[in-house]
Each structure stands twice: as C-alpha cells, then as structure tokens.
Amino acid sequence: MRLKEIAEKLGARLDPAETELEITGVAAIESAGPGQISFIANPRYAPQAGATGASALIVDEKFPSGEKPLLRTRNPQLAYARAVELFYLPPRRARGIHPTAVVDPSARLERNASVGAYVVIGAGVEIGENCTLLPHVVIYEDVKIGRNFFAHSHVSIREGTRIGDGVLLHNGVVIGSDGFGFAKDEKGDWYKIPQTGRVVLENHVEVQANCCIDRASLGETRIGRNTKIDNLTHIAHNCVVGENSMLCAQVGLAGSTEVGKNVILAGQVGVAGHCRIGDGVIVTAQSGTHGDIPPGSMVSGSPAFDHKQWLRSVTAFARLPELARAIRAKTGKE
C-alpha cells in the first residue's frame, strides 16, 4: 500500500506530502525494516527515529522533522492501531457447529454461529448472530448473550449471566463464579452464604486471560459498556464498574465496590470492599485504597492518597537517613 494512501485512510498529514513510498507492513520501532511503518508516541523518543530501520513513522503533530517520511496525527497510538488493521488479517473461523460440541436442544443460536470442538451449551441459552466459541468453552443454563460474541478456549460462563453485544472473553475467563461469602455458625465454622445473583457484562466489554468476575450474592455484579479488564483481575460479588473504565493486570476489587466511569486502576491495585471510586479517577500501580475516592482524583500508595503529595513523601522517605543525621548533629550542637 502506498504511504500516501495509508495517510488518507488514517486521516494523517503526510510530511513530505508527495511521498509515493510503498509500505508492506507494520512493526515495532526496534525491529522494523525497509518497507515497514512504525510509530513514536512521545517526542522524547525522537533519537530512535534516526536509528530505526522503518521506512516511515507515525508521529505527533509536533514531532521534529527528519530524514524519514512522517505521518503526523494528534493521536499516534490510535493511528498505529488502525494502521495495523490495514495489514493484519485475523484468523478465519469456520462457521457451523463442530460434531463434538454438546448443545442442549432448548438452546438457541442465531445465524452464522461458529461453535468449536467440545463446546458445551446448557439449557435455555440464547446467543445472538455471529458468535464464535472456540474449543472447550462451557456455557451454563439460562445465559443470554448478544451479537458478535467471541469466547476463546476454556472460557466458563455460569448460570444466569447476561452479556451484551460485541463482548470478547479471552482464554480461561470465568464469568459468574460464586462470590466469596461465608458466615460463622454456632460452632465457629464457616457456613456458605448462597450466591444467588448474576453477572451482567454490557456491550463491548473485553475481559482478558484468566480473570474471574463473581456473581452477586443478591442482585447483580455489573461491568459497564466498553470497559477493558486485563489479565488475572478479580472482581468480587456485587461490584459495579462504570463504562469505559480500564482495570490493568492483577487488580482486585473486594465485594460491593463501586467504580465510576472512565476510571483507570493500574497494575496490582487493590480496592477494599464497599468503597466508591468516582468518575475519572486514576489509581497508580500497586496502590491500595481503603475508602471513597472523589471524582477526578489521582492517588498513589498504600493506603492511597493524593498522587502529588505521595511523590513528595517518597522523595522525603529516600532522604530520611540523611535528615536523621542532620537532626542528630544539630541536636548534639545544641
């Protein structure tokens, strides 16, 4: 594909404008070679532009000009993602139901379904058109799923779950497992509290590998529209996650946590139960929250507090030995 054509498809400004270079693929800046295009999202990495073997680069509008042709755009990372789509052909899945799949007679699958080997679909299940279920997916009874659903192998969806359109579940995801609810009986032993609720995934949710989203004890656990959940994340019973939020790897939400819209929880963030995290909050990696967080906040640490204050505190902490010596010396003089 000509570089000029790529620029038109991406809505990017080509610099120089008349470049007729042919591009055959997209690659990372470290490994790109002749005929490939790559991207640089931050002007700080400008020195890499001269070292890369890529024939052209997708860059920010303010990126300095160099020897290579540039596709200038306000959002280089998004343009890069769209450029990959121009060249990448995803695997084509055969439509139809594999002979080893077990589908209950009462289940209903709409047109153009692809059901792989050893898939099990329970009674009363309803799945919209264009679904793809790869081998060993298991769907319990009374599950309702929308259109364009994609489940990778070994996904398990428990009874009563509700899933919207365009949802993507990666390998090993478990939706609707029992919430962790126990009460002590008269003998002091743990007695299981029945988990009778369900999980609801709204449209265009993506849940990546080996995540667990627990069913509610009563009512529902709900994940909002277009929310993205990274590997090894655990969402406990009765949690609510607002739309367009992002939960990175190994995040853990304790029961009845409420997460607002457009929230980012970075890797290994832990949230105590019955907390409210407001819209637009950012919690940095490995932080632990123990109370409500107002909308628009950025917090760090464990327990988490204002990010700027946390940065000052960390700087002071590194200097504690020096400060202690100075205090001792001053005290000794006095």
Which residues are marked as active site? 237
Residue by residue, what is the 3-state secondary structure of 177-192?
ECCCCEEECCCCCEEE
Instruction: Count CA within 13 A, CB hemisphere, residue 288.
Output: 5
Question: 128: left (phi > 0), else alpha (psi -120 to 50), else beta?
Answer: beta
Instruction: Count CA within 13 A, CB hemisphere, residue 7.
Output: 23
Q: Residue 257: is it exposed, middle or buried by C-beta count within 10 angstroms (0-12/13-18/19+)? A: buried
**Separation of alpha carbons 211 and 251, rounded Å:** 10
- Write out the two tokens for 86: 């121009």
Helix (H, G, I), strand (E, B) or coil at 157: strand
The answer to whether residues 223 and 181 touch, using CB atoms and an 8 Å cutoff, is no
Sheet holding 138-139, edge to edge: 102-103, 120-121, 138-139, 156-157, 174-177, 212-214, 234-235, 252-253, 270-271, 288-289
Q: For 302-312, give one letter per residue: b (16+ CB within 10 A) or e.
A: eebbebeebee
Nearest to 168 by CA among 191, 147, 183: 147
DSSP string, 24-35: -EE--TTT--TT
